[in-house]
Amino acid sequence: MSVNAAILAYTHRNLAPGPLVLTVPAIMITVCMIRMLIWMRPVSARDLDVTQVENRLKRTVFLGTVLSVAYVCWAMMLDQYGGPYEHGHVAIFVAVTVLGCIFCLTFLPVAAFLVAVSVLGTFVVYCFVQKAEVMLAIALNISLVTAVVLKILRDYYNSFVSLEKSQRELQGERRQAHTLSEENARLAQTDSLTGIPNRRYFFRTLESLLERARPDETFTIGLIDLDRFKPVNDTHGHAHGDRLLQVIGQRMVHLCPDNAIVARLGGDEFGLIVMDGPEGAERVAQQMCRAIQEPVRIGDVLVSVGCSAGLAVYPETATSADLLFDRTDFALYHAKKQKRGQCVRFSEKLEHLIRSEQAIDAALHSADLTQELSLVYQPIVETETLKPLGVECLARWSSPTLGDISPELLIASAERAGRAREITLALFDTALSALQQLPASLRMSFNLSGHNLCDPDTITALLDRLAASDCDTGRLLFEITETSLITDIDTAEVALQRLRETGTRIALDDFGTGYSSLSSLHKLPLDIVKIDRSFAARLGDASGRRLITAIRNLVRSLSLDCVIEGIETEDQLISARLAGFTLAQGYFISRPMSLSCLLEHIEDRSTARWSAA
């Protein structure tokens, strides 16, 4: 409209008086420009409330009408000057103004209508007053076209409004449907026992986090697994177990900060996602672990469980959900095995461990066990005379690809591959044939893993082999560790009973490192306790000696024999003797050796005592 007005003023520059072709249009154009600038100032609809929006629309209706009438009146004034061309130009100006304005005001029909009526009304009245026939015809012409355009615009506007309305209705319905399905979804993502989010929710959240995560963003996922939950379930019943899980779930939720979620992944395993780096996440996990370990009163019993946690950090540890979870799981597994009751973060060291585990698994897969597996024998002697009482069989795996692998790694890998039984039986066959070659005065200890103990078929196979070998079962001793009893104490106990019924004896190995409480010691069918080698190193200091003597007295009070392991120096041997130990084992007395070496030593009667091979 402003450009049109400027052009109209230009064609009348020499015909009309100065103020009319300069001052008046200048003022009107300035007002329009200011209005336009205000109009174009960015404003978000969200910043305005309904009354503010209404006021703005009213102002547009008012200004639109007033300004367009002002332009038309000005054009009528210019029409006093000039010839037929100039009159025609004025008519075109009016027509263009009206049509342009109402078109731009499509979505504000009131304004469009008012502009059209006031502008055309003014123009028609003017033409009547002027009694200019052609001008009147043009006015009618424009009015007709405007009426049709207005009608079309109104229809268009109405359809737009009804579309809007039906869309809004549809949205309303959808929203309703949405809340229903949201409720269903919520239920599907909630653990029914504890009422906290479930596994599905945990993985959904993890996946959507990974989808949205920026490379510079970091978060940590954690797994918390309860220790000794099964015994609670077994001794107090499932109702108590359920209640315990509920209380623990609530404690965890209570401690869960705003930037974290906690979920029950199943059984006694909980998942954690913390939108924070490892330090922050570790703090949260540790707090939760402490809370879990607080005893819980259920009815009239007080139960308590332990827990271990594993953590992995995005993106430094892994960037995919599967890998991230696997590594958290590995960290947890590591915590449970090596740092029970603690929180372990997946680190490069663990990564290295995985790699080496994978390499070991692969090597075991292609190993020729009859060639690569062997046993070495370490004497157990009387501390006073250094006379050997027996030998302990220790597995050795010499892999052509990886070299010598420690028996712990071998056993762990065999368990992962589901070959624990096969390997134990192969070793046991070797042990039995060695037993037959050794003097009848010597006993033999054979190590059993927790896996072996929990597998009744392994026990049966061991007993079958033992029966077939017709060796004196009284010479045989099975060594078990405390940790092997934790997983499933009932099955383990049955296995121990079965072994003992044949006349073999049972030794509890590595005593003092595990968690079996001293009180449970007398409940187990044991004959011997082997004090872990870490205690031998403490024989040098007074407090260590007091501790070891106390353990020794306790074992004696239970009428069990006691062996101290890991004697590496003469001083330690003397201290062990003074502390009342009658049996010992260790590098100072003898390193583990092959069967032929062992037999040689035995033959060499002149050897006063066992020396390192």
Q: Which residues contact 203 (CB under 8 A, 6 or more apart)?
A: 321
Q: Does 42 sit behind a cis peptide bond, omega within 30 degrees of 0 on the bond before it?
A: no
Q: How many CB atoms lie within 10 A of CB 604?
A: 8
Considering beta carbons, is residue 75 or 394 the nearer one to ligand C2E? Answer: 394
Q: Which of 227, 268, 276, 532 is catalytic?
A: 268
Angle at 379 between CA 376 and CA 382, to 5 degrees: 170
Q: Are 69 and 122 in contact (CB under 8 A)?
A: yes
Position among 77, 568, 599, 613 found at the interface with ligand C2E (CB under 6 A): 568
Find the shortest distance in angstroms from Cβ 393 to Ca ion: 9
Tell the smallest beta-carbon distance from residue 447 to Ca ion (Å). Answer: 5
Q: Which of ligand C2E, Ca ion, none sits in contact with 230, Cβ below 5 to 8 A by type?
A: none
566 binds ligand C2E (CB under 6 A): yes
Closest separation between CB of residue 492 and ligand C2E, Å? Answer: 13
CA 207 to chain centre: 9
For residues 415-434, which are near ligand C2E according to CB under 6 A? 427
From residue 13 to residue 52, the character string flagging contacts with ligand C2E as x (rule: CB under 6 A) and all else as - is: ----------------------------------------
Task: Select the binding partner of residue 590 from Ca ion, ligand C2E, none (C-beta < 5 to 8 A, by kind).
Answer: none
| Contacts of residue 101, Cβ cutoff 8 Å, sequence gap at least 6 | 1, 64, 68, 112, 115, 116, 119
Of 159, 176, 406, 433, the one binding ligand C2E by CB under 6 A: 406
411 binds ligand C2E (CB under 6 A): yes
Residue 167 vs 406, nearer CB to ligand C2E: 406
**Span 365-404, contacts to ligand C2E by CB under 6 A:** 378, 394-395
For residue 301, the cross-strand partners are: 298
- What residues from 494 to 553 belong to the interface with ligand C2E (CB under 6 A)? 509-510, 533
User: What are the two backbone dihedrals, phi and then psi, of residue 488, each rounded to the nearest 5 degrees?
Assistant: -150, 85
Report residue 122 CA to chain centroid gap: 74
Q: What is the DSSP string of 475-522?
A: GEEEEEEHHHHHTTHHHHHHHHHHHHHTT-EEEEEEETSS---GGGGG
Catalytic, 509? Answer no
Question: Nearer Cβ to ligand C2E, position 32 or 373?
Answer: 373
Measure the CA–CA gap between 361 and 381, rounded to whole angstroms: 36
Q: How many other β-carbons are positioned within 10 Å of the β-carbon of residue 501?
A: 11
25 binds, among ligand C2E, Ca ion, none (CB under 5 to 8 A by kind): none
Least distance in Å: CB of 294 to Ca ion?
33
Stretch that binds ligand C2E, among 224-232, 242-250, 457-465, 562-570 (CB under 6 A): 562-570
Interacting residue ranges for Ca ion, rule: CB under 5 A? 447, 479, 509-510, 565
Q: Minimum distance between the CB of residue 392 and Ca ion, rounded to whole angstroms?
A: 6
> Which two structure tokens, joined as six digits, stand for 143?
């009015």
98 and 115 Cβ atoms separated by less than 8 Å: yes
Q: Are 236 and 298 in contact (CB under 8 A)?
A: yes
**Residues binding ligand C2E (CB under 6 A):** 378, 394-395, 406-408, 411, 427, 447-449, 479, 509-510, 533, 566-568, 585-587, 592
Catalytic residues: 268
